[in-house]
Amino acid sequence: MDIIHLLPDSVANQIAAGEVVQRPASVIKELMENAIDAGASTIDVLVQDAGRTSIQVIDDGKGMTETDARMAFERHATSKIAKAEDLFTLQTMGFRGEALPSIAAVAQVKLTTRTAEQELGVQLCIEGSRVVLQEVCSCPVGANFEVSNLFFNVPARRKFLKSNQTELNNIIQDFERIALVNPSVAFTLSSNGNQLMQLPAGSSLQRIVGIFGKKLGEQLLPVQVETSLVKISGFVGKPEAARKKNSSQFLFVNGRFMRHPRFHYAVMEAFSHLVPEGDQVPYFIFFKVDPANIDVNIHPTKTEIKFESEQEIWSIIVAAVRDALGKFNAVPTIDFDVEGRPDIPAYDARGLGDVKVPRVQVNPGYNPFSGRGEGRKSSSRQWEKMFEGARGKEQGAIEHGGEPDIPGNPLASCPLPPAPNDALFPEADRSTQHFQYKGQYILTAVQSGLMMVDQRRAHIRILYERYMHQMQEHTAPTQGLLFPELLELSPSDAALLTGILDDIRSLGFDITPLGGSSFSIVGTPSGQSNPVAVVQQMVESVKQQDGGHADALHHRLALVLARSNAIEVGEVLSPVQMETLIGDLFQCEIQNLSPSGKTILTILQQEQIDKMFGTP
């Protein structure tokens, strides 16, 4: 009995959709690329609920006839290629003929389209690869794709979509990639009726500024080189634009975004010894090569591309970027051209005669903290009587567990916590048995040996749990700023911040949108410094979020704020501050690990100490 049979087209399309349509952003990417191939000069993207409910892509391209509209949803139906040889001369974004049938297999699709030669257009409705409506209609030239209820017939795929904010971030990311490489096309992006980006047609630099803001545009240097192998154009950031992470880095080839770790390394190689190791420099590099010398038919996403002359292009990239850095004086240079400059005579000590060179007299034994120093002999001690009463109060506060309110002291306002449990700290060792080592570790004698605590990680854990509690209970205090601070972000970052404003406000920030990509910070958590940088760090951190739950978002926000306010490595602590820090740490739910999973404390057992000294 024969058991092998052909799968129905609907099933085959759902299988293909598993690779082509992974999330709402995949649908937008495919529809925008089709609009580019259709010669559109304006493309509008509208999404509802980050694409879960509705995705609409409207273009003014050449449109489709009634027959082409039906054929476009058939598997492997395309106008881009006709034979295998065409794969080596590709000039379009798409060519597989899999996108539209894959989308129609897992969503409800309505297409309205008309060509310039026709007076009336056609409207086509498809649900799960099945045509449910086809009729003539009146519509403008171009195409209007409306995709509703994505994965309505594949509930498992729909269930594993991330949070709306995460999915919207992915949509913005793919939108930016296509908009960057097509500056001659006008784009708009709207989410739930709010316009996130409006990008008019213009130059490449104008498009970069429109997406990422003027600040980044001022930090870019042009790159331009043309060889027989490749034509390279674009922009690289100045060394001072380097960041630890989340720097804007884009590579494009023949109008297509690509991922190429080797070419990324080539750009960073040009910045070696100019930026700290591990820092990333923004760049926007556009390659123009003969289509016959690359292979884009590797993966359905078409972001992995093979180059025939990869090593040669690598060398050209390094040389081109270094040339741009040198041409615009972005690196130190040595100038040996002295022609026409005044002759400055060299120093000659023999011509000074009896002139004596002035010398600075110093007393190497002077100690400003000692009354016996030479510099304090003539000073009066009468001023000390004015502060005798204050000194007594200060001493009394210290004896009772307090700490003078010293400006900049991160632990000054912390009350002395209850003593840790008796099992760890015996009564005999509960005095000031804390010692600071190299401004980083606190050493404390415990019953089982010697405990070593990383002071910064401990403080991060303390602040992190405090902020998490404040976010859950909405009890964070807010301190109003005398002069509000202006926060300007890129359109994509502004959209992200708008989505998490309520969560940031629960930490004590008072942020007011000013319209566009600008915000006003009018209040901060008590004692918070540099709020603009902290909020920017929060936005960057949320960009990396993979989880779809509110807890994951709260974790990232609280961790950024804790790191910004925690004591730094090398900060000297008094015995009372160390006691406070250790006590607060042992009041936390987790004492031995930081929020990022790093070790906070370790105990050197007494047996290990005895063994090191050879004690029996």
**394 vs 122: which has the higher pLDDT:** 122
pLDDT range class, residue 29, cuts 50, 70, 90: very high
- Partners of 220 in beta bridges: 237
For residue 88, is pLDDT > 70?
no
pLDDT range class, residue 489, cuts 50, 70, 90: confident
- The answer to whether 95 touches 181, Cβ cutoff 8 Å, is no
Task: Please give the single-letter amino acid code of residue 109.
Answer: V
The confidence score (pLDDT) of residue 409 equals 45
Of 243, 238, 246, which Cα lies nearest the Cα of 276?
A: 243
pLDDT tens sequence across 113-132: 999 999 999 999 999 888 99
What is the torsion angle, in degrees rounded to the nearest 10, for the CA atoms of residue 173, residue 175, residue 178 and residue 182? -130
- The answer to whether 249 touches 285, Cβ cutoff 8 Å, is no
pLDDT range class, residue 56, cuts 50, 70, 90: very high
The confidence score (pLDDT) of residue 200 equals 94
**pTM of the full structure:** 0.69
78 vs 346: CA distance, rounded Å: 78
Instruction: Quote the percentage of the chain above a pLDDT of 90.
Output: 37
- The answer to whether 59 touches 143, Cβ cutoff 8 Å, is yes
Of 331, 557, 336, 374, which Cα lies nearest the Cα of 463?
A: 557
Which region holds residue 594: left if phi is over 0, alpha if psi is between -120 and 50, else beta?
Answer: beta
Token look-up 């990422």 returns 212
89 vs 291: CA distance, rounded Å: 5
For residue 397, is pLDDT > 70?
no
The string of DSSP letters for 240-304 reads GG-BSS---EEEEETTEEEB-HHHHHHHHHHTTTTS-TT-B--EEEEEE--GGGEE-TTSTT--B
Mean pLDDT (whole number) for 296-316: 79
pLDDT tens sequence across 546-597: 555 677 888 989 999 999 999 988 888 888 889 899 999 999 999 889 998 9
Q: Average per-residue pLDDT in the chain? A: 81
The confidence score (pLDDT) of residue 169 equals 83
* Start-to-end C-alpha separation, the chain: 82
Cα R_g (the chain), whole angstroms? 33
The confidence score (pLDDT) of residue 266 equals 93
pLDDT tens sequence across 235-268: 999 988 888 776 789 999 988 898 888 999 999 9
For residue 298, is pLDDT > 80?
no
Instruction: Quote the percentage of the chain above a pLDDT of 70.
Output: 76
The residues near 138 (Cβ < 8 Å, ≥ 6 apart) are 120, 121
DSSP E strand boundaries for 489-569: 510-515, 518-525
The confidence score (pLDDT) of residue 540 equals 84
399 vs 169: CA distance, rounded Å: 54
**CA-CA distances (angstroms) from residue 404 to 442, 530, 585?**
21, 25, 21
The confidence score (pLDDT) of residue 559 equals 93
- The answer to whether 608 touches 616, Cβ cutoff 8 Å, is no
The confidence score (pLDDT) of residue 359 equals 76
Q: Which two tokens stand for residue 464?
A: 């992190």
The confidence score (pLDDT) of residue 355 equals 60
The confidence score (pLDDT) of residue 351 equals 55
pLDDT tens sequence across 338-359: 555 555 555 555 555 566 667 7
pLDDT tens sequence across 493-541: 887 888 889 889 999 999 999 877 889 999 999 888 889 989 988 988 8
pLDDT tens sequence across 130-171: 899 999 999 999 999 999 999 988 888 888 888 787 888 889
The residues near 350 (Cβ < 8 Å, ≥ 6 apart) are none
Q: Which two tokens stand for residue 563?
A: 């790191």
Q: What φ, ψ does residue 610 adopt, rounded to 5°?
A: -60, -40
For residue 327, is pLDDT > 50?
yes
The string of DSSP letters for 289-320 reads --GGGEE-TTSTT--B-EETTHHHHHHHHHHH
